[in-house]
Amino acid sequence: MADISMIGAGSWGIALAVLLYKNGHRVTVWSAIEAEIRMLQKEHEYKDKLPGVKLPEDMEFTTDLEQAVKGADVLVLAVPSPYTRSTSHNMASYVEEGQLIVNVAKGIEEKTLLTLSQIIEEEIPQAKVAVLSGPSHAEEVGRGIPTTIVVGAKEKAVAEYLQNIFMNEVFRVYISPDVLGIELGAALKNVVALAAGIADGLGYGDNTKAALITRGITEIARLGVAMGGSFETFCGLTGIGDLIVTCASMHSRNRRAGILIGQGYTMKQAMDEVKMVVEGVYSAKAAMGLAKKYDVQLPIIEQVNAVLFEGQLADEAVKNLMLRDKKIENPLLPW
C-alpha cells in the first residue's frame, strides 16, 4: 500500500483517486479551491463533473498543499495544463529529494514550448517525474470501464513501480521510456480533436472524421519524430489510440468545443459553454511554435489556429486543407 496525493480535484483527478483507492492505497485529494474541497468532504461525489462516482468516506480532502505533499510516496499532478507551472512552483519547497511525481495532464506551454514534465522538472528539479496518458476519459475510468494507458519514465524501475500501483482488472498499464513522445501525442491530439469537432459542427461525416484522424496522426508523428520522440509511440496508445477516442467521443471537451465553433461560436463562447479547460486551445499556438522551431509542416493544426485566433471561417479552413498542393501520401515508398 502506498500513500498517494492527488494534486487537483477535477474529473480526471477524482476518477484516478477512486481507482487508486480501490487498488488498496491511501489517497488524499488536494485542491486550491476551498469550496470544492468542502463540497467533496460533504457530498463524497463531484456531481457537476463526475456524477454517480462515489468517493469513499475515509478518503481525505485538503487545501493544505504542504500536508498533501509531505510524506507521500507518489504525487499525482492532475491540475489543468495552464496551472502546471504555478502549482509545481508552489509544491517545490515541500518535495523531498527523489520524491515521485506523475503528471496526468496534457499540454504544451505556449511561451516556453516545454512539455508539462519538462516544466515540473524545471520547477522541482529534486523530484523524479513520470507521465501517464492514453485513451482514458474520466467518465469511463470512474465507472470502472476497461481502459488501457501507458506510463512513461526515464527509469524502468520507476515505470514498473507505477505500473503496479495503477494497474488492475479494468485499468491495464503499459510502460515506455519515451516520455517526450507520450506527452507530444497527448497534447497535440487535443488540437486535432478540435478540428474533428469543427467538422462535426459543420455537418460533415465519417469520411471527414477518418481523414482528420489519419492525417492528424501523420502531423503529430512528423513533429514528434523531429523533436526526438519515437515513431512507434505515435502508433500506440498515446498516439493513435488517444487521438481516436478524443476525436470520436462526446466525453471529449475538445471535440465538444470544436462542434460549437463549427456551429458558429467564437473560441471563447465555446470554452464558456463547455465549462472546463479545453486543453487543445492552449496547445494550438505552442504546436505552431514547435513547427516553426523544427521546420515541420502541420497543415491541420495551422488551420485550427487560424480559426481559433485569426478569424478564419471554419468552412474556409476545410477548403484550404482540401485544396492544398497535390501530395504523395508516403514519399518514402518507392514506385
Using a 10 angstrom Cβ sphere, with 0-12 exposed, 13-18 middle and 19 or more buried, the burial of residue 244 is middle
Backbone region of residue 52 per phi and psi (left: phi > 0; alpha: psi in -120 to 50; beta: other values): left
Distance CA 70, CA 301 (A): 41
Is 189 known to be catalytic?
A: yes
What backbone phi and psi angles, to 5 degrees, belong to 40?
Answer: -65, -40
Catalytic residue among 49, 128, 189, 209: 189
Distance CA 315, CA 200 (A): 11
C-alpha cell of 69?
505533499
Distance CA 15, CA 46 (A): 10
* Burial letters 75-110, b for 16+ CB under 10 A, else e: bbbbbbbeebbebbebbbebbeeebbbbbbbbbbbb
Which residues are catalytically annotated? 189
